Structure 1
């Protein structure tokens, strides 16, 4: 794609990755983009450096605007591979450029690139850089979602370069939110935001909340938010800030998701009467089979739902592998304010349900106990018990939701 002007003299010079489907273990069925930005001012400045596989595209885009050798400053807001590994090739062409990053960014990036050959300037919150008509203000954002992270605010244009915050994994020809909404829908865009937040930023909700409050206290006016993935926000600023405020508080709808896997369909047969019981309590239910669904999609549904029920057969005295993988993935994301229950079938010992509850308690989730277990194939009596379990969970979920 060609460069796109955000505001007078500020350009998107990144690349779109239409083909990626696995982003360090997080499924990306819609691809992604690697966004970086060029400010054409008296001292031309590049913000971030894209993934090394796409750096030639970014260099080509920059070259359509200015001679790359004229770049005076390079700001690295985040040192993760998809934003910084293209830096080495860029520095081969502009070795005299000043590089700005946090202290932790310098220490981390030095493990991948010998920075001793370059002029690295460590910045902290409140530091500024005058590049001509514009002033850049740096705002450290440690653990959003790496320790090195920071925002860069272009004061005169009221543009916030937000690195991974407010992003989405979408490969699209639309560069701006209003273009995307006009061609698709706001619902689809919000769903992409939730998917991204749930699978990447969920553990850092309190940090993000504090940083949003800090930005408000600093009196920073925002007319545009330019993340390092996905579309750029210029028309729905209030909507994305409100959505983030909802997400960082772990708000969810009164609904339940049943996430399960099965060996010989015994656990699967338990799913449907449980779902009917919950629905009969007036609570919507979504059902997800793990081996038929990316775990990132399952996590997104956990994020949307106040109640989470996990079904699993016992295999080798433990949790079935696909369910164990999902729970391990979920545990790392540190969900909160969810009601958890478990069920499953077994042939000999039946430890899976107990182990799932132990994992939920380790996550500090509210648990609805006891779970329900069935020996081998569920009988009509077992299925009736599953239905009653669903009713009981639905009632408990409504009470729990009312308290949150």
Structure 2
């Protein structure tokens, strides 16, 4: 059933409590998610976005309890990805001629996914749709995070329907940012940004600056995943501006995979050395074969430096290390230092492989890394600790 946001806007989406993986197996959703759809009732009625395809029948059935479908004058598709547009095929069976307002790229996206020639109306930044007492203003948001993305702003109510921007994969019946656990909320928000929007950070900053230049009052931000921002809604906008400018905290993240615990011992010894040299730095250590990859990437996003380690296998690295390095490359992190480490028994190519991949990812590799033959003895453990201490000095020098 719907949830009334105010006298004119009703949430008609779906909370997905069971969701644990998203984008196939690419993104972990430990706290579930939601697909937020909004019904706007003025003299004219508009529906903003729908839900993911598996919930389309349920969505249409619930929507009928809120409105006679034939009374819907307009459908707004802020983004064509299936988790937001998946309810359209089922809905359009009932109201096939209802106009769908979206960007030119969204027309291509929706036609490509559903192979239907619906009544599309292309819009661009500044175009408006008069509902009677209120207007909808469209703002293209290309690459936040697809080429077809846009925001819709509702005048009078001062609501920004931001689709994927400012969202989180976070299921809660509490609905609003002032009601949920704020630490959980911000943890999911920064993970969402770090894993999805990081490659588009320059565009994020530019688009936000453009929107702020319009001087539109914003009393509420309604994204298409997770919680609605109603208490100090611009706080998440300010966070995006901060995150979009090569964000980093005083944190070093150590990531490793290990066959016989030798690389693990190296990771822990290097961490000891780092902590001895800098008691204020946050150190986080992850086994990439056991920890969640998106949680790791969220910590990489927050870090000023990362260490990546692996045993050598078949003249290369272990599976989880290779996969994570590929994801790091795709996210195009900026202004982060990096080094490689690892143990080996035969030839020890893992260090060169990791270093090459870190360079390829655009990270600033500080030195050639450190490797240990076979199992580290006390002397090698001490060498790893000293390496950690020197690493702190190198990072500080590099950051000045």
TM-score scaled to structure 1, two decimals?
0.95
Q: Distance in 1 between matches of 2:5 and 2:237?
A: 20
CA contact (8 A) 1:14 1:57 kept: no
1:279 is matched with which residue? 275
Q: Distance in 2 between matches of 1:387 and 1:232?
A: 46
1:341 to partner: Cα distance: 0.9
CA contact (8 A) 2:170 2:185 kept: no
1:69 to partner: Cα distance: 2.0
1:36 is matched with which residue? 37
Between the two proteins, the alignment pairs up a number of residues equal to 396
Alignment of 1:2-401 (within 5 A): 2-24=1-23, 25-116=26-117, 118-180=118-180, 184=181, 186-282=182-278, 283-401=281-399
Say which is worse superposed, 318-327 or 3-12, in terms of deviation. 3-12
CA contact (8 A) 1:259 1:309 kept: yes
CA contact (8 A) 1:254 1:398 kept: no
Q: Distance in 1 between matches of 2:271 and 2:44?
A: 61
1:284 to partner: Cα distance: 2.4
Q: Distance in 2 between matches of 1:221 and 1:82?
A: 29
CA contact (8 A) 1:278 1:284 kept: no
1:63 to partner: Cα distance: 2.2
1:95 to partner: Cα distance: 0.9
CA contact (8 A) 2:218 2:234 kept: no
Q: Distance in 2 between matches of 1:70 and 1:130?
A: 16
1:115 to partner: Cα distance: 3.4
Q: Any idea what the Cα deviations from partners look like across 1:184-222, whole Å, max 9, x if unmatched?
A: 2x2221111001111111111111100100011111221
Give the unaligned 5+ runs of structure 1. Answer: none
Q: Distance in 2 between matches of 1:390 and 1:7?
A: 55
Q: Any idea what the Cα deviations from partners look like across 1:88-134, whole Å, max 9, x if unmatched?
A: 10001111211111111101211122332x21111111111112211
